[in-house]
Amino acid sequence: MNSILKTSLLALALATAPITAAMSADAVKVALPSKMFLNVVEFVAQEKGFYEAEDLEVEFTHIADSSIPVRTLIAGDMDIIQAGMAETLVATGRGAELKTVGGVHNGLHYAFWTRPGSGIETIADLPGKNVAISSPGSLPHVVTLALLQKEGVPQSKIDKINWVSIQGSSARINGIIVGAVDATVASYSPEVERSGDANLLKIVGPELPDYIMIPFDTTDRMIEERRDVLKRFIKAQLLATRFVLENKDETLAVAKGHFDYTDEDLDAFYKFYVDGRIWNPNGNISADAATYMQQLNVDTGLQDEVLPVEEVLDTSIVDEVIAEIGTYEK
């Protein structure tokens, strides 16, 4: 082979190498809730190269109604959803072949908001009031029912609540502000809290410590056929979460590119999520928590029976990742 031909082939190889690498990245479609500060982990994972390091091309779709992602997962339109464990458990109880495999957004990031002058001093005051949820059986609905259950409110009184369907946290909070509803579970907002237009009755997370908020849910088929992809995705998520917890300034710089918040608000959000232990840098979900979530569904009429844990939870992939990267101790 002459030197000119060798040079030409080498140039061609170098030119096509980046294209080949890009084409080799595994595509992953993920459904997320409405865009919120919670997902700064995902934004960091993309912009700081955590997905790229695992040879993944991750596409996000934000869906406000938390009951919809489960249907997209079953239909095969999504590979992974981060929507709400309660909805996935309901679908599994009805025969869908789905599993929760871990999660970094396990803590409840919700606040319970009330309308000033509504007369609501405790959760037990909700009967007879207009309470906003996303839709029947959605995450805000189940969380509100869990709070009512904890307060010991009987079903006869719960039946007197007027449930109002309003999709999206911001829309539900706005419903409070304009006086359309009396109370709702919705995301935390420093601006709303400062304004006094809605009263922050309580932070929900500490009230329901065993509640699993927004884990990674996927199909049995995904686990069987693309296990390595799932493992790399979870690894990227855990490493990005640890980065977020260790690098406040860089995290807020990323967040600033996605949200039109003041520096004061961004700092308040970060403090809320870190202090509330909303992000889980180890991605683990216990069998007890999975059972609690199912029992809650049964108690609220969303699920017929508590299924064996192995039918709803598969922690093996997270266990493998932790064995590689170690447990986050801080």
Identify whether 7 is part of a domain: no
Same domain, 77 and 218: yes
pLDDT at 3: 46
pLDDT at 98: 97
pLDDT at 213: 86
Q: How many domains does the chain have?
A: 2
pLDDT at 23: 55
Same domain, 231 and 100: yes
Identify whether 18 is part of a domain: no
Same domain, 89 and 221: yes
Asked which of 154, 188, 207 is the last residue of a domain, the reply is: 207
Separation of alpha carbons 72 and 58, rounded Å: 16
Same domain, 218 and 102: yes
Identify whether 330 is part of a domain: no
Identify whether 39 is part of a domain: yes
pLDDT at 39: 93
Asked which of 182, 207, 232 is the last residue of a domain, the reply is: 207
| pTM score, whole prediction | 0.78
Same domain, 127 and 54: no
Return per-residue pLDDT of the chain as tens, 330 residues.
554 444 444 444 444 444 444 457 899 999 998 888 999 999 999 999 999 999 999 999 998 777 789 999 999 999 999 988 888 999 999 999 999 999 999 988 889 999 999 999 999 999 999 999 998 878 789 889 989 988 999 999 999 999 999 988 889 999 999 999 999 999 888 989 889 999 999 888 888 888 898 999 999 999 999 999 999 999 999 999 999 999 999 999 999 999 999 999 999 999 989 887 899 999 999 999 999 999 988 887 889 999 999 999 999 999 999 999 999 997
Number of Cβ within a 10 Å radius of residue 107? 23
Containing structural domain, residue 232: 24-107+212-325
Same domain, 147 and 193: yes
pLDDT at 92: 95
Asked which of 189, 207, 225 is the last residue of a domain, the reply is: 207
Same domain, 200 and 222: no
CATH number of the domain encompassing residue 133:
3.40.190.10
